[in-house]
Structure 1
Amino acid sequence: MSYNIPEYLKGLSETEVEASRKEFGLNQLEALHKDTWVDILINILKEPMLILLMCVSLIYVIVGDYAEAIFMFAAIVAVTAISFYQDNRSKNALEELEKLNEPLSKVIRNSKIIEIPTHEIVVGDLCITEEGKFINADGKIVYSNDFSVNESSLTGESYSVFKDDDSEDNLVYSGTITVSGSAVFKVEKIGKETRVGKIGKSIIDIKEEISPLQLQIRRFVKGMAIIGLGIFLAVCIFSFIKTGNFVESLLNGLTLAMSVIPEEIPVAFTTFMTIGAWKLMQKGIIIKRSSIVETLGSVTVICTDKTGTITENMMHLKHLYDYKSGKTYDEKEFGAGELNELITYAMWSSEPVPFDPMEITLHETYEQTQSNDVRKDYHLFHEYPLEGKPPMMTHLFENSEKSRIIAAKGAPEVILAVSNLSEAEKDRVRKEITKFGEQGYRVLGVAKSHFEGYNFPEKQQDFVFEFLGLTVFYDPPKKEIQKVFQQIYDAGIKVKVITGDNADTTKAIALQSGIQNNAKAVAGSEIIENSDEEIAQIARNTTLFTRMFPDTKLKIVNALKKQNEVVAMLGDGVNDGPALKAAHIGVAMGSKGTEIAKSAAALVITDDNLEKLVVGIAAGRRIYSNIKKAVQYIISIHIPIILTVSLPLFLGWAFPQIFTPIHVIFLEIVMGPTCSIVYENEPMEKNTMKRPPRIMSETFLNWRELTISIIQGLVITLGILFIYQFSVQNGGNEEKTRAMVFSTLIFANILLSLVNRSFYYSVFESFKNRNVLLAFISISVIVLLFVILYIKPVSVFFKVTSLNANELGWALLTAAVSVLWFELYKLIKRISGKK
Structure 2
Amino acid sequence: MQTNNFNIKGLTDEDVLKARSKYGYNKLEAKKESFFLDAIISLVKEPMVILLLVASSIYFISGNIGDGVFLTSATVLVAAISLYQDSKSRNALEKLKTFSEPKCKVIRNGKTQDIKSELLVVGDSLIVEEGGTVAADGIIVHSNDFSVNESILTGESLSVYKDKTKADHQVYQGTLISGGLAIVTVTAIGNDTQLGKIGKSLEDIQNEKTPLELQINNFVKKMAIIGAVVFIIVWAINYFHSYNVLDSLLKALTLAMSILPEEIPVAFATFMALGSWRLMKLGVIVKQTKTVETLGSATVICTDKTGTLTENRMSLSRLYTLSSNNIFKIDDSLGAEEHNLIRVAMWASEPIPFDPMEIALHKAYKTTRETDERSEYSMVHEYPLGGKPPMMTHVFENKQGNRIIAAKGAPEALIAISNLSTIEEEHINNAIKTITAQGFRVLGVAETHFEGNNYPEKQQGFQFSFIGIVAFYDPPKKNITSVLEDFSLAGIKVKIITGDNALTTKAIAKEIGFNNYEKSMSGDELMELNTAELQKKVEDTTIFTRMFPQAKLRIINALKANNEIVAMTGDGVNDGPALKAAHIGIAMGKKGTEIAKQAASLILLEDDLSKMVDAIAMGRRIYANLKKAIQYIISIHIPIILTVFIPLALGWEFPNIFYPVHIIFLELIMGPTCSIIYENEPIEKNSMLQKPRPFSVTFFNGKELTTSIIQGLMITLGVLLVYQYAIQQGYSEALTRSMVFTTLIAANIFLTLINRSFYYSILTTLKYKNKLVPLIIGITITITGALLFITPFAKFFKFETLNLPQVLMSVTTGFLAVIWYEAVKWNTRKKAKHQADTGHFN
Q: What TM-score do you get using the length of structure 1 for normalisation?
A: 0.96
Question: Which stretch of structure 1 is more off in the superposition, 407-416 or 250-259?
Answer: 407-416
Question: Which stretch of structure 1 is more off in the superposition, 453-462 or 351-360?
Answer: 453-462
Alpha-carbon shift at residue 110 of structure 1 (Å) = 5.6
Contact map agreement 1:287 1:603 (CA 8 A) in 2 = yes
- Aligned AA (2:766): F
Q: Aligned residue for 2:735? A: 736
Q: Aligned residue for 1:609? A: 608
- Aligned AA (2:771): V
Q: Aligned residue for 2:390? A: 391
Alpha-carbon shift at residue 486 of structure 1 (Å) = 1.1
C-alpha separation between the residues in 1 aligned to 2:3 and 2:52?
65
Alpha-carbon shift at residue 644 of structure 1 (Å) = 0.8
Q: Aligned residue for 1:297? A: 296
Contact map agreement 1:140 1:187 (CA 8 A) in 2 = yes
C-alpha separation between the residues in 2 aligned to 1:19 and 1:393?
39
What SS is found at the alignment partner of 2:305? coil
Deviations 1:154-192 (A, max 9, x none): 556666555443344321122223344433212223344
- Aligned AA (2:733): E
C-alpha separation between the residues in 2 aligned to 1:21 and 1:740?
69
C-alpha separation between the residues in 1 aligned to 2:529 and 2:142?
45
Deviations 1:667-696 (A, max 9, x none): 000000000111111111111011111111
1:9 has 2:1 as partner: no
Q: Aligned residue for 1:248? A: 247
C-alpha separation between the residues in 2 aligned to 1:57 and 1:235?
19
Q: Aligned residue for 2:54? A: 55
Aligned residues between the structures = 833
Contact map agreement 2:325 2:427 (CA 8 A) in 1 = no
Alpha-carbon shift at residue 798 of structure 1 (Å) = 1.1
1:782 has 2:786 as partner: no
Contact map agreement 2:788 2:799 (CA 8 A) in 1 = yes
C-alpha separation between the residues in 2 aligned to 1:383 and 1:201?
33
C-alpha separation between the residues in 2 aligned to 1:68 and 1:774?
31
Change (3 A) 1:450 1:114: closer
1:471 has 2:470 as partner: yes
- Aligned AA (1:585): I
Contact map agreement 1:20 1:124 (CA 8 A) in 2 = no
Contact map agreement 1:519 1:541 (CA 8 A) in 2 = no
Q: Aligned residue for 1:539? A: 538
C-alpha separation between the residues in 1 aligned to 2:732 and 2:578?
70
Alpha-carbon shift at residue 634 of structure 1 (Å) = 0.7
Change (3 A) 1:487 1:8: closer
Alpha-carbon shift at residue 793 of structure 1 (Å) = 0.7
Deviations 1:618-646 (A, max 9, x none): 11111111111111111111111111111
- Aligned AA (2:688): M
Q: Aligned residue for 1:830? A: 829
C-alpha separation between the residues in 2 aligned to 1:15 and 1:407?
40
1:374 has 2:373 as partner: yes
Change (3 A) 1:268 1:35: farther
- Aligned AA (1:76): T
Question: Which stretch of structure 1 is more off in the superposition, 720-729 or 330-339?
Answer: 330-339
Paired-residue identity, %:
54
C-alpha separation between the residues in 2 aligned to 1:363 and 1:159?
33
Deviations 1:548-569 (A, max 9, x none): 1112111211222222221111
Within-5 A mapping of 1:524-563: 524-563=523-562
C-alpha separation between the residues in 1 aligned to 2:210 and 2:420?
58
Change (3 A) 1:32 1:596: farther
- Aligned AA (2:182): A
Question: Which stretch of structure 1 is more off in the superposition, 6-15 or 396-405?
Answer: 6-15
C-alpha separation between the residues in 2 aligned to 1:319 and 1:672?
65
Alpha-carbon shift at residue 355 of structure 1 (Å) = 1.7
Contact map agreement 1:21 1:122 (CA 8 A) in 2 = no
Change (3 A) 1:426 1:112: closer
Change (3 A) 1:663 1:152: closer
Within-5 A mapping of 1:173-212: 173-199=172-198, 201=200, 205-212=204-211
- Aligned AA (2:811): L
1:585 has 2:609 as partner: no
C-alpha separation between the residues in 2 aligned to 1:153 and 1:219?
35
Q: Aligned residue for 1:660? A: 659
- Aligned AA (1:429): I
Alpha-carbon shift at residue 260 of structure 1 (Å) = 0.4
Contact map agreement 1:315 1:474 (CA 8 A) in 2 = yes
Change (3 A) 1:506 1:165: same
C-alpha separation between the residues in 2 aligned to 1:151 and 1:65?
67
- Aligned AA (1:670): I
What SS is found at the alignment partner of 2:773? helix
C-alpha separation between the residues in 2 aligned to 1:161 and 1:648?
76
1:509 has 2:508 as partner: yes
Within-5 A mapping of 1:373-452: 373-452=372-451
Contact map agreement 1:12 1:108 (CA 8 A) in 2 = no
- Aligned AA (2:459): Q
Alpha-carbon shift at residue 509 of structure 1 (Å) = 1.6
Alpha-carbon shift at residue 71 of structure 1 (Å) = 1.2
What SS is found at the alignment partner of 1:496? strand
Within-5 A mapping of 1:17-416: 17=17, 22=22, 26-29=25-28, 31-109=30-108, 113-145=112-144, 147-154=146-153, 161-199=160-198, 201=200, 205-333=204-332, 335-416=334-415
Question: Which stretch of structure 1 is more off in the superposition, 597-606 or 336-345?
Answer: 336-345
Question: Which stretch of structure 1 is more off in the superposition, 198-207 or 668-677?
Answer: 198-207
Change (3 A) 1:368 1:736: same
**Where do 5+ consecutive residues of structure 2 fail to align?**
836-841
**Where do 5+ consecutive residues of structure 1 fail to align?**
none
Contact map agreement 1:309 1:572 (CA 8 A) in 2 = no
Question: Which stretch of structure 1 is more off in the superposition, 335-344 or 75-84?
Answer: 335-344
C-alpha separation between the residues in 2 aligned to 1:178 and 1:500?
21
Alpha-carbon shift at residue 518 of structure 1 (Å) = 6.0
Contact map agreement 1:334 1:369 (CA 8 A) in 2 = no
Contact map agreement 2:5 2:107 (CA 8 A) in 1 = no
Alpha-carbon shift at residue 703 of structure 1 (Å) = 2.4
Q: Aligned residue for 2:802? A: 803
Alpha-carbon shift at residue 203 of structure 1 (Å) = 5.2
What SS is found at the alignment partner of 1:809? helix
Q: Aligned residue for 1:690? A: 689
Deviations 1:77-117 (A, max 9, x none): 22112111100101111111112222022334565654443
Contact map agreement 2:353 2:359 (CA 8 A) in 1 = yes
Question: Which stretch of structure 1 is more off in the superposition, 353-362 or 745-754?
Answer: 353-362
Change (3 A) 1:229 1:156: closer
Alpha-carbon shift at residue 467 of structure 1 (Å) = 2.1
Q: Aligned residue for 1:570? A: 569
Alpha-carbon shift at residue 711 of structure 1 (Å) = 0.8
Contact map agreement 1:131 1:355 (CA 8 A) in 2 = no
What SS is found at the alignment partner of 2:5? coil
Change (3 A) 1:772 1:379: same
CA RMSD of aligned residues (A): 2.2
Alpha-carbon shift at residue 452 of structure 1 (Å) = 3.2
Deviations 1:575-630 (A, max 9, x none): 11111111111101101111211111110000111111111111111111111111
What SS is found at the alignment partner of 2:475? coil
C-alpha separation between the residues in 1 aligned to 2:166 and 2:826?
77
Alpha-carbon shift at residue 211 of structure 1 (Å) = 0.8
Contact map agreement 2:437 2:504 (CA 8 A) in 1 = yes
- Aligned AA (2:138): G
